[in-house]
Amino acid sequence: MEEKDLKISIAHLYPKLLNLYGDMGNIIALTKRCEWRGITVEYDEINIGDDIKDHDFYFIGGGQDKQQEDVAIELYSHKDFLTSQRDDGAVFLGICGGYQLFGHYYQPFDKDKLLGISLLDAYTVAGKKRFIGNVTVDIDFLNPNTLVGFENHSGLTYLQGDTRPLGSVAIGNGNNGEDKTEGARFKNVFGTYLHGSLLPKNPHFADYLIELALEKRYGDKFKLSPLNDDLELMTHNSLVGKKY
């Protein structure tokens, strides 16, 4: 199939509550990188009370603890459906607070545990220190072999079982500031603490996720045609190894 005949559907989960630090920029990057190739994007905003139907790609951004509480209750009501979507190969990308809800739970300091939907074998507990700053992650599954972004979280996330990190932190704290891991992946579920927003300055990761979403929809592996990423990669490279 030619790229102009392809389509992916994206569900944006609870953007009215979880869209801190411009995480909407990830949706813009995915949509533009498809449209520039002639690939059609069907975009659905999912809000509290909405039903969730089959999509190729599910995105959820970050947010403050209060908004996380409201979303956690709603998201949990869709746990079985979203788990079946994961097992059917759908792509998920969760940023920070959204990432935390992909695990088993997020335990704030002085409040009841927020139940997650266990797409990832991971859990999060509130930390005493807030991690704020630039992050560079060394990865081994893409070229360039780095991801860059900005973190702002106090939650400490620990991975278990077959859930693997996206990579190891070269700059910054990542999942918990202890084990040098950042982010998580199980099947096509990805989580990361990287705001920024992430995908505009990591075009190689954006394309990788689009290819996985196309594979989920059509059952074939795809290699997207190249775009002129000079500006994106110049931005990416200017941030690699940058602490301040």
For the bound state, the minimum distance from the C-beta of residue 9 to ligand GLN, rounded and expressed in Å, comes to: 25
Residue 177: which of 156, 159, 163, 153 has the closest Cα?
156
For the bound state, the minimum distance from the C-beta of residue 62 to ligand GLN, rounded and expressed in Å, comes to: 3
What SS3 state is found at 24?
A: helix
Q: Does 183 bind ligand GLN (CB under 6 A)?
A: no
**CB of 63 or CB of 167, closer to ligand GLN:** 63
Q: Identify residue 119 by its one-letter amino acid code.
A: L
User: Which one of the spans 32-40, 80-88, 113-121, 151-159 is the region binding ligand GLN (CB under 6 A)?
Assistant: 151-159
**CB of 68 or CB of 197, closer to ligand GLN:** 68
Region of 78 on the Ramachandran plot (φ > 0 left; ψ -120 to 50 alpha; else beta): alpha
From residue 66, alpha-carbon distances to 31, 71, 180, 206 in Å are 29, 9, 28, 29
**CB of 62 or CB of 203, closer to ligand GLN:** 62
Q: Does 107 bind ligand GLN (CB under 6 A)?
A: no
Measure CA 83 to chain center. Answer: 16
**CB of 96 or CB of 184, closer to ligand GLN:** 96
**CB of 67 or CB of 188, closer to ligand GLN:** 67
Q: Does 153 bind ligand GLN (CB under 6 A)?
A: yes
Q: Does 154 bind ligand GLN (CB under 6 A)?
A: yes
- Alpha-carbon distance of 4 to 12, in angstroms, equals 23
Q: 3-state DSSP: the chain helix, strand, coil percent, rounded to 5?
A: 30, 30, 40
From residue 191, alpha-carbon distances to 86, 91, 194 in Å are 13, 11, 9
Q: Binding mask 57-86 vs ligand GLN (x if CB under 6 A, - otherwise)?
A: -----xxxx--x------------------
**Residue 207, token pair as written in the block:** 């394309």
Among 96, 148, 194, 239, contact with ligand GLN (rule: CB under 6 A): 96
Q: Does 155 bind ligand GLN (CB under 6 A)?
A: yes
What SS3 state is found at 46?
A: strand
Pairing of strands 122-138, 167-171: antiparallel
**Beta-carbon-side half-sphere exposure of residue 220 (alpha carbons within 13 Å):** 7
Q: Binding mask 186-225 vs ligand GLN (x if CB under 6 A, - otherwise)?
A: ----------------------------------------
Residues lying near ligand GLN in the complex (CB under 6 A) are found at: 20, 62-65, 68, 96-97, 152-155
